[in-house]
Amino acid sequence: MDSAVEGVAIPSRLRPLNGIKVEVAGQPEASGCGSTGGSGKSSCGSSDGQDDMPAEIWEKVKNHPCYSEEAHHHYARMHVAVAPACNIQCNYCNRKYDCSNESRPGVVSQKLTPDQAVKKVLAVASEIPQMTVLGIAGPGDALANPAKTFETFRRLQEEAPDIKLCLSTNGLALPDYVDEIAKYNVDHVTITINMVDPAVGEKIYPWIFYDHRRIYGREAAQILTDRQMLGLEMLTARGILTKINSVLIPGINDEHLYEVNRAVKARGAFLHNIMPLISEPEHGTVFGLTGQRGPTAQELKDVQDACMGGANLMRHCRQCRADAVGLLGEDRSDEFTLDQIEQMDVVYDIEKRRAYQEKVEAERQAQHAAKQGALGEQSADDGMKVLVAVATTGGGKVNQHFGHADEFQIYEVTASSTTFIGHRRVDLYCQGGFGEDEQLPSIVNAINDCHAVLVSKIGACPRDELKAAGIEPVEEFAHEFIEKAALTWFANYRERVAKGEIVHISRGDAAIRQGAFKAA
């Protein structure tokens, strides 16, 4: 695969991004992308993003909720499940459910025909003017269903030309469809690449269906990786942005993902999203049944950290469902079932959408300016760093009640910087006003590597239990900007350590929540 880059003219704007900033002072607006990435900016494309990204790429991604750590607060994406077939088998996938490369395992999306999909997109876009991105990511492989995928794109391009299109693929069929993709103005393609070495690949992919044959083992993995690399190069040569997804499988590709990162960076990928394997016996996958475990939060962070400075890393992926609708971390698909869409009278008003988006853009600029203003002087860095969990509903502020949080944003804080490193999903503590005490241990597990949790409010009972677990609940920064709050809390923490009031100890690892996510 090393020959890959040769002979392919890579437009200069798509050359691998060098000099990606790793240290981020307070930039990460992170929130949104949830996870944006770790390096704050780098990953999600970042809030202020331009400075570590060529201007043209920034232009393309800044309003993409999956790529820009800031955009996902303001813009929504949706997926339509028009692509049920797949042409490979992954050991972490049970084909009764949606493609695990793009969704959490164990979820089933409502399959749509291209006609139903177009209707649904128009209905959602009229209802939710922030909806700017339409993706086809399953429930199988977008390019194993070329007729359905491209029929959907063709019609949407005609009927809703302001909506951006993207698709996800395992890459096997990609080289055959790059020209087709280029026709439809699909400017974002996600390829799931878990390996660049067939010796690793044969442990992940038992077989592929290629050239009218079922091919097994190492030969299958060799073909898959060759096709993935070729497809990536071809997209890059045509100026189509590519994001790479990798599933981190401990003991199989954890160390190898560094090589994957370099390989995809060399071929022009602009974003690399490393996500945890989610594996439970009840999903009925090969890995689930063989007891292959997923990574802990620390293992995931270690690999992400090792890959920083390669292709831009993205840490906000929430592995949402193939028919998700809404802002990242939110799913309104229940409001748009087939039956409901049939009842709707849809008038696609592109002007109204444009006006709304302009308003959003203005608000976003204002918010950005306010946040920069809130960040004052920062003290010198001495290398001490901790993680803090933040409960937020968006807007870059600490503004959510502990009991209402179904996920926490995790920031790494030093004396002078805050870096968004990811999301942790939890089961709601508060249901109908009463705290669920059974839920608390699972929340503690999910943020067990954090020193503090910043919330707008917290009840007495969970407060005591968090304290007992060694996690400091902090309410005093309610409605302040996250970066400012985290830095101020940490300065105060360091003072208390210096005075001997508390002892600084490192925290343990945390668990990644398993099971299907239904962003209710």
Residue with Cβ nearer other proteins (183 or 214):
214
Single out the residue of 29, 48, 69, 141 in contact with ligand SF4 (rule: CB under 6 A): 141
Cis bond upstream, residue 139 (ω within 30): yes
Q: Does residue 317 interact with ligand SF4 by CB under 6 A?
A: no
* Euclidean distance between CA atoms 459 and 358, whole angstroms: 39
Neighbours of 74 (CB within 10 A): 21
What tokens does 92 get? 């972490």
Amino acid at 441: P
Q: Are strands 418-425 and 407-413 parallel, antiparallel or unpaired?
A: antiparallel
Q: Which residues pair with 28 in a beta bridge?
A: none
Q: Which is nearer to ligand SF4, 36 or 170 (CB)?
A: 170
Residue carrying the six token digits 């992919």: 205
Choosing from 145, 194, 312, 414, the residue that interacts with other proteins (CB under 8 A) is 145
**Contact assessment for residue 15 and residue 268, using Cβ atoms and an 8 Å cutoff:** yes
The site partner of 488 among ligand SF4, other proteins, none (C-beta below 5 to 8 Å per kind) is: none
Pattern of binders to ligand SF4 over 166-205, x per CB under 6 A? ----x-----------------------------------
Q: Which ranges constitute the DSSP H helices of 160-296? A: 174-183, 198-201, 217-237, 257-266, 286-290
Indicate which single residue of 51, 59, 176, 213 sits in contact with other proteins (rule: CB under 8 A).
213
Residue 77's H or E segment, with its range, is: strand 76-79
212 binds other proteins (CB under 8 A): yes
Q: Where do we find the tokens 């570590």?
A: 52
216 binds other proteins per the rule CB under 8 A: no
CA dihedral (113, 114, 120, 121) positive or negative: positive
CB 25, min distance to other proteins, A: 48
| Element containing residue 230 per DSSP (H, E) | helix 217-237
Nearer to ligand SF4, 137 or 471 (CB): 137
Q: Give residues 84-113 in contact with other proteins (rule: CB under 8 A).
A: 84-87, 89, 95-96, 111
User: Is residue 89 a contact point for ligand SF4 (CB under 6 A)?
Assistant: yes
Beta strands in 86-201 (DSSP E): 88-89, 131-136, 164-169, 186-192
- Interacting residue with ligand SF4 among 24, 99, 118, 122 (CB under 6 A): 99
Residue 356: name its binding partner from ligand SF4, other proteins, none (Cβ under 5 to 8 Å by kind): none
Rounded CA-CA distance 121/79 in Å is 9
Which CB atom, from 141 or from 480, has the smaller least distance to ligand SF4? 141
Q: Which option in other proteins, ligand SF4, none does residue 96 bind, with CB closer than 5 to 8 A by kind? A: other proteins
Strands 434-435 and 430-431 come out as: antiparallel
Nearer to other proteins, 86 or 398 (CB): 86
Half-sphere exposure of 246 (CA within 13 A, CB side): 37
Helix H or strand E encompassing 219: helix 217-237
**Does 276 contact ligand SF4 by CB under 6 A?**
no
Q: Which does 449 bind (CB under 5 to 8 A by kind): other proteins, ligand SF4, none?
A: none
Closer residue to ligand SF4 (CB): 90 or 486? 90
Counting contacts by CB under 6 A, is residue 88 touching ligand SF4?
Answer: yes
| Residue 147 interacting partner from ligand SF4, other proteins, none (CB closer than 5 to 8 Å by kind) | other proteins
Give the N- to C-terminal CA distance of the chain in Å, as an integer: 43
- Write the CA distances from 1 to 197, 253, 324, 380, 453, integer angstroms: 9, 17, 35, 44, 45
The tokens describing 261, both together, are 């990162």
145 binds, among other proteins, ligand SF4, none (CB under 5 to 8 A by kind): other proteins
Which of 43, 100, 194, 246 is the binder for ligand SF4 (CB under 6 A)? 100
Among the listed ranges 69-77, 141-149, 317-325, 483-491, the one in contact with other proteins (CB under 8 A) is 141-149
**In sequence order, which ranges of 285-349 are alpha helices (DSSP H)?**
286-290, 297-307, 338-343
By the rule CB under 8 A, 173 interacts with other proteins: no
Binding site for ligand SF4 (CB under 6 A): 86, 88-90, 93, 99-101, 140-141, 170
Binding site for other proteins (CB under 8 A): 84-87, 89, 95-96, 111, 140, 144-145, 147, 209, 212-214
